[in-house]
Chains A and B, each alone.
Chain A
């Protein structure tokens, strides 16, 4: 029977009365660990609600054990007998039940790197003997209790973060706000070391498929040499494919898998590595960006700009930052100041864009969704549009994702300041080019049809060049062109921790 833990994790201090508990002693001896890893699973491209990533903890046991069998500690919602909409509603309101549980690392690895195509980042966290004991004791007390689960502030990230922080410092005030990946990295910066990166299976397959193609080109001997490797790749590819949204395998598919397993086990293919981990730098933007700048318009003169953004990041921000293809803002504000008059150029209360490239393996949709107010530059009379901004399409990439092209069809039911309710639709092509680790170029071409009956057609072109001056400062140069006007922006943005 599960007990209720109304007070979350705050009442679980290690004291003399509890340390004599036999059950705890057994648990402690079984779980005593050398090192703790904070594991960060990247965004799940197929699920908009997973763009924040997922967090769990991995324990490297004191007693040597293969890492696939290490214990992972996870906090997730219990959705037994709950429908999807009920889950979403309860999750937002905080009436879901969440629970800590222990699971073998190979299962988490399979879940994330295979089924959901997510790469993992393992951050070692330094804890001394007493802190490690505190951590285990808190987990021991929570492992069979129910805690409230809320998507925003009582989720995997906040619970795991609070658990680690309280193990280090019992007086830590629990984080009750929205916990972003950056919050955790920053909050544990004195304890955290450089991460180890584990590639997702589809990334491994992509890499190896290229290698095989190159090596087998024009040489029969090479083809024979790599044939065994091909079988291993094919086996891994089928496993990946079947772990995606498949409700069952046909008899033929099952037999093919069985034959392939047997064939691979008897082969001498030593060229395919089905697991890859290596140290990799992890860059993430602070949640807040503030900036100022100038906008020079051919028709309307100079306007001073003030910007504020709260969230993960935007696609014009510098490259090589986690998450690579997902962009999220919970609040975006841009004010234009001209002759003592202050106007809103943009007030987005939510905006998310996912531009995951498709490949021969994965075929994720690209999409964008935002709510708020935006100044529209494509019309002859510049005006504010308020409403919902959506787009759906695909992204393709070149040169190992250094350049991506996104093709979206936009649909925007909005209220225009001067024309009233309108429906805007049309294609948008976004090109993102990571010129270097510090320079990013973004080009956007948009064709807009205003209203379906008596349609008016407009086009709009935007170019942005972002320079990372240093880690917390970015210079953004923009050129915006429409039938009506040409605009030049220069903005200096600062990241605030």
Chain B
């Protein structure tokens, strides 16, 4: 087994020397353009304790940042440890919403990536019930991430992506509901964040 490990190590290191050239073009520069949206506008965005802006935030942030903090009065402060990605070697792949590098525990909020270098942060208002927060988070995250597939399903008036969205809104799967969803998508002009915000209003809690 030790032999196997040694050979695998050699293999991986040599392979990397072949493949890093393609990553290097992406990793040029020390900053990364990112968009950070939040369920609350005007929340302070800090990277390693340094204030970089307010939500909704679009700007360049250093790639080797370690801790991202989003805070706003009346809400629990949300902090996430950033990780370098195995594939990407650049900051843009960090908040992966539950896959490698981040675990969502909902203690103070949650974050997920919905498009390249675009992140949605959900801050938890003090006193909010965890159950309600989770339901809104799950619905909005699903709607934003799967918006294109939901559009395709709307064109067919059925499909797995549409079915799951309607299930999360707790509405019945019928023509009327499908029309409501279509209306929200049109109203959002195809924008993921806007669509997410409109869809959560449909949630029956």
Which residues on A sit within 8 Å (CB–CB) of B73? none
Q: Given A79, A238, A330, which contacts B84 in the complex, CB threshold below 8 Å?
A: A79
The answer on a CB contact under 8 Å between A261 and B164 is: no
Which partner residue on chain A sits nearest B87 by CB separation? A47
The answer on a CB contact under 8 Å between A107 and B98 is: yes
Q: Is A257 an interface residue (CB 8 A)?
A: yes
Q: Is A69 an interface residue (CB 8 A)?
A: yes
Which residues on B sit within 8 Å (CB–CB) of A48? 11-12, 15, 19
Bound Cα distance from A255 to B97, whole angstroms: 24
The answer on a CB contact under 8 Å between A265 and B155 is: yes
The answer on a CB contact under 8 Å between B163 and A66 is: yes
Q: Given A232-B155, A265-B185, answer yes or no on A239-B100 (Cβ-Cβ < 8 Å).
A: no
Bound Cα distance from A80 to B167, whole angstroms: 33
Bound Cα distance from A79 to B9, whole angstroms: 18
Question: Which of A31-39, A269-277, A283-291, A432-440 is the interface stretch?
Answer: A269-277
Within 8 A of B (CB), among A304-356: 330, 349-350, 352
Which partner residue on chain A sits nearest B10 by CB separation? A371
Q: Is B130 an interface residue (CB 8 A)?
A: no
Bound Cα distance from A345 to B19, whole angstroms: 31
The answer on a CB contact under 8 Å between A235 and B151 is: yes
Bound Cα distance from A334 to B13, whole angstroms: 27
The answer on a CB contact under 8 Å between A106 and B145 is: yes
The answer on a CB contact under 8 Å between B7 and A371 is: yes
The answer on a CB contact under 8 Å between B83 and A107 is: no
| Top 3 A-B pairs, shortest CB-CB distance | A258-B190, A261-B190, A66-B164
A residues at B contact (CB < 8 Å): 46-49, 65-69, 76-84, 87-89, 92-93, 99, 101, 103-104, 106-107, 110-111, 151-153, 177-178, 228, 232, 235-236, 238-239, 242-243, 245-249, 254, 257-262, 264-270, 272, 274-275, 330, 349-350, 352, 367, 369, 371, 388, 390, 392
**Interchain Cβ contacts under 8 Å between A and B, 22 examples:** A49-B15, A66-B164, A68-B146, A79-B85, A82-B83, A88-B12, A92-B9, A92-B12, A101-B103, A103-B98, A110-B146, A152-B1, A177-B1, A236-B148, A247-B117, A248-B92, A261-B185, A274-B159, A352-B11, A369-B15, A371-B7, A371-B11
Further pairs besides A92-B5, A228-B155: 5, Cβ < 8 Å: A79-B85, A84-B84, A152-B8, A249-B117, A350-B10
